[in-house]
Amino acid sequence: MSTYRKLEEILKNADELVEYADEQLQKATQIAPGITDKEYTETQQLLEQMAMNIDKMIHSATPEQRDALTRARQQVQDRQNDFILGFDT
């Protein structure tokens, strides 16, 4: 049961982080940026940490859980790519 709770927590945190990253990226791409280089870098670090957490969980997940984790990992990777490219897609 604790693995299930951990899975749900990671999925929820990944979703929230993707939304937060979208907001930070949106701020960074506006004409008058409201995000500092430090915030931009911290968001990138949070995305990388989440990707590593998801990768760890995948190893002990059931096939159904692995599918959900893989989708979350893809969303995180997409945001990482957006940050590297510097624009929202």
Give CA–CA dist 10/30, Å, rounded. 30
CA of 7: how far to CAs of 58, 70, 80, 82, in Å?
A: 9, 12, 21, 25
- pLDDT of 85 strictly over 90: no
The alpha carbon torsion through 12, 15, 21, 25 (nearest 10 deg) reads: -160
- pLDDT of 31 strictly over 60: no
- Between 25-34, 51-60, 70-79, the lowest mean confidence (pLDDT) is in 25-34
AA letter at 47:
L
Give CA–CA dist 39/58, Å, rounded. 29
